[in-house]
Amino acid sequence: MKTRQGFVSNSSSSSFIVKVGEVFDNVFDVAEYMIPKREWDNDKELLAKLQELKTTNPSLEGICFRSCNCPTYIAKVDDHILVETCNNHDWDMWDFDSVKQVDDFYSSYGDADEHSLYKLPRNRDFYHLEFDKVGREVDYDRNVPIWCDTLECRGDVWVINNQYECVECGKIFKPKK
């Protein structure tokens, strides 16, 4: 099982923003495009779940699944879809990036992470395709870890049913006061 190893060299997060209607119409389309590029054993299983979700939860605007060193988050924000993912995969997403196309983003701003357009919204629910959980990411200023402190896990801590829970192993965290 692949797990987050902390920050190892040559791996960091990578973000994309695509305009709805250009290549992808919704978060399902983006996930469907990206998941097979992981080339992981459970790709087919996740794609099947995606098809099911399209029917049962068509208005879903946040999807999450595992990727090499950090999870992939896909969120619809107004008429754009934001992707936060790990750069250790060849996603082939950059050509679709609307900000890069519009204003030659990198030469203007340098670091994508500094651009507010690339900030993943933390006030919305995501559906985790691998663990079938719905929740939102923990805010950085909370008194709870943002990653699970279980060494073999290192999953993201989410707010699920008003509790802080590791989305991967289910460990519950109580906020320090």
Site string for Zn ion, 100-139 (x = CB under 5 A): ----------------------------------------
Dist. CA 118–CA 112, nearest whole Å: 7
Of 97 and 168, CB closest to Zn ion: 168
Least distance (Å) between residue 1 CB and Zn ion: 12
Among 152, 145, 175, 148, smallest CA distance to 162 is for 175
82 beta partners: 17, 75
Contact call for residue 8 and Zn ion (CB under 5 A): no
Q: Are strands 126-128 and 62-65 parallel, antiparallel or unpaired?
A: parallel
Q: Which of 25, 169, 172, 175 binds Zn ion (CB under 5 A)?
A: 169
**133 — phi, psi (to 5°)?**
-120, 150
Least distance (Å) between residue 157 CB and Zn ion: 8
- Footprint on residues 132-161 left by Zn ion (CB under 5 A): 148, 150, 153, 155
Report CA Rg, the chain: 16
Which residues sit at the interface with Zn ion, rule CB under 5 A? 148, 150, 153, 155, 166, 168-169, 171
